Amino acid sequence: MRGIGVLVNVAAIMVGAGVGLLFGRLISERFKSIAFIAIGLSTMILGASMSIGGLTSLGSSDLGKYSSLVFVGSLVLGSLVGEAMRIERRLEWLGEKLQSAATRMPILGPGKSAEPSEKGHTLVEGFVASSLLFGVGAMAILGSIQDGLGDPSLLYLKASLDGMASIALATTLGAGVALSAVPILLLQGGIALGAASLEPLMTPAVLDAIKATGGSLIFVIGLDLAGIKRFPIGNMLPAVFVAAFLAGWLG
C-alpha cells in the first residue's frame, strides 16, 4: 500500500507524544533536563554526520569542485528565501491556531497548553521545534519518495526514531509535539503522492545535496534542543530545496 510508511510515521509521533504526556509527570525535572540535553547532543551528532557524509559524497560526484558552492549557496539563498516568506512565523501562526483548538481538549485542560513549562517552552515552541526535527532531512524526503513508490522501509525506520524522540520531547515541550504530526502528514504525504514524477530527478548528486544541507539544519535543531542557541530554523528550511535544485542544475 503506497503511503503506509507516512501513516506509520505520523502514528509513531502521536503515540510517542501521548506516552510522554501521560507518564512525563512521573519523571523528575532533573532527569528530564539531562535527557533533553542527551537528545540535543545526539541530534547534533547525527546531523553533523549526515551533513559531512553528504558533502563528502557530493565532492566525489559529478559536481566535484562545485560541491562547496552548492552547500554554502543553498544555505544562504534558502535562508534568504525563508526569511522573505516568514516561514518561522507562519509555523508559529499554525501552532497558535492548533494551540487554540487544543485548549478545548479535555486531555490538556484549559490553559495548560498555553502556559510555559518550567523550562519556558509553550505548546507553540514544541510544535515548531518537533515539526522541524521530524520533517527536515534526507530521511524524511527520500523515505517519502520511496514510500510513494511502494517501499516504506526507510519511513518505518524513521518512525521508530521519531517515536522514541517524541516521548522524550513531549515530557518537556508538551502537547505541541503531538500536533507536529499535522505538518508531517502534509509534507511527507505530499512528497509520497508526487513520488512518481519526482523519481527521475532524484540523482545521486541531488540526494547527496539534500543530505548535506538537511544534516546541517538538523545539527542546528540539536543546538536548540540542548539549550545552547536557538536559530530561526524554519526560515532556513528552503535551503534543502535550493540544494536539490542547484545539484540537479549543475550536475
| % of the chain with per-residue pLDDT over 90 | 21
Cβ pair 54, 138 in contact under 8 A: yes
pTM here is 0.74
Q: What's the pLDDT score for residue 7?
A: 95
User: What confidence tens digit (pLDDT) does each residue in 5-27 have?
Assistant: 999 999 999 999 999 888 877 87
Averaged pLDDT of the chain: 82
- In angstroms, the CA 251 to CA 246 distance is 8
- Kindly list the distances between the CA atom of residue 19 and the CA atoms of 9, 88, 168, in Å, as whole numbers in the listed order: 16, 28, 9
Q: What's the pLDDT score for residue 101?
A: 65
Residue 96 binned pLDDT confidence (cut-offs 50, 70, 90)? confident
Q: What's the pLDDT score for residue 138?
A: 64
More confident of the two residues 74 and 221: 74
With a CB cutoff of 8 Å and minimum separation 6, the contacts of 223 are 40, 44, 229, 230, 231
Looking at mean pLDDT, say which of 30-34, 59-63, 112-116, 186-190 comes out highest.
Answer: 186-190
Looking at mean pLDDT, say which of 85-89, 92-96, 123-127 comes out highest.
Answer: 85-89
Residue 95 sits at the vertex; the CA angle it makes with 26 and 90, to the nearest 5 degrees, is: 150
Domain ranges, ordered by start, for the chain: 4-250
Q: Does 125 score more than 80 pLDDT?
A: no
Q: Does 95 score more than 80 pLDDT?
A: no
Q: Does 31 score more than 70 pLDDT?
A: yes
Cβ pair 167, 16 in contact under 8 A: yes
Q: What's the pLDDT score for residue 6?
A: 94
Task: Give the pLDDT mean for 192-214.
Answer: 83
